[in-house]
Amino acid sequence: MIDLHTHLLPGVDDGAGTLAEAVAMARLAAADGVTTIVATPHRNPWSYRADRADAERRLEEVRRACQCEGIAVRLLLGGESYIAPDLPEQLETGLALTINGSRYLLIEWPLAEYPPYSDQVIFELQVRGVIPVVAHAERYRFIQQDLRGLARQVERGVLVQVTASSLLGEFGPRTRRASEDLLTRGLAHLIASDSHGPERRAPVLSRARARAAELVGEERARALVEDVPRAIINDERVDLPPPVLPKPRPFWAFWRAG
């Protein structure tokens, strides 16, 4: 399995605080059957903004430590970028880091609102050949309330990540239901841990994969944690099936219901 969203890079954000914690995360992931981890630190002007060389240096320290510990896991670099009007420019300056240097960029929104400039930013990214991957989509309030906006983005080529612990109910029933809806309606394309430490959202995927298999079948569950993440880190095309949303009820149905 491939974990495409983790905060394993030590000492840069609210994820692993030390090298030892980062190694502990890698050990847990490997024991769970994860073979590749992408470190995706928060990348924005008020958080970790050091250049790519600094991130690569920190990740190389984790690689060496894992090798010394006999932990067989591949570590790659990316970033989780906060949506902002200047996000396309952040790519040019190197503040925004795509996943393993590919065309795929992990982005996040504020949990409670959809900023009005979001559509324009996503369009500008796509014009530059960048494919946005929406992080932990099931946790956004506006998506929990209405899936249609996200469906429009998916129809335009945006990818969607669901968090493993959300699918297992660790963020509460509302978020769990949202994650299940995203999966069953074809609005989720990969599952990742979004791990922030050995205990805080542990970097494991097998239980969420099993739950996904119950919802959408084993083949689709495998794609969520293997096939699609592999295509992303290899900078390959991901073909998206059209999402399936419930049809709007005709107005007379409300009268009948009354």
4 vs 44, 118, 121, 137, CA distance in Å? 19, 23, 22, 14
> Looking at residue 7, what is its pLDDT?
97
Give the separation between CA 163 and CA 176, rounded to whole angstroms: 10
- Other Cβ atoms within 10 Å of 164 Cβ, number: 28
Give the separation between CA 208 and CA 90, rounded to whole angstroms: 33
Q: Domain with 108 in it: what CATH number? A: 3.20.20.140
Of 5, 3, 8, the closest CA to residue 55 belongs to 8
Residues of the chain with pLDDT under 50: 251-258
Whether the CB-CB separation of 224 and 215 falls below 8 Å is answered with: no
Give the separation between CA 97 and CA 106, rounded to whole angstroms: 8
> Looking at residue 258, what is its pLDDT?
43
Give the separation between CA 152 and CA 224, rounded to whole angstroms: 20
DSSP 129-196: T-EEEETTGGG-HHHHH-SHHHHHHHHTT-EEEEEHHHHTTTT-HHHHHHHHHHHHTT---EEE--B-
Contacts of residue 164, Cβ cutoff 8 Å, sequence gap at least 6: 191, 192, 193, 194, 201, 204, 205, 207, 208
Of 181, 189, 179, the closest CA to residue 244 belongs to 181
Give the separation between CA 41 and CA 243, rounded to whole angstroms: 29
- Domain residue limits at 82: 2-257
Q: Are strands 42-43 and 80-82 parallel, antiparallel or unpaired?
A: parallel
Residue 220: enclosing H or E segment and its boundaries?
Answer: helix 218-222
Total-model pTM: 0.93
Question: CA 32, 209, 216 angle in degrees (round to 5)?
Answer: 170
Domain count, the chain: 1
Give the separation between CA 175 and CA 177, rounded to whole angstroms: 5
Give the separation between CA 229 and CA 94, rounded to whole angstroms: 23
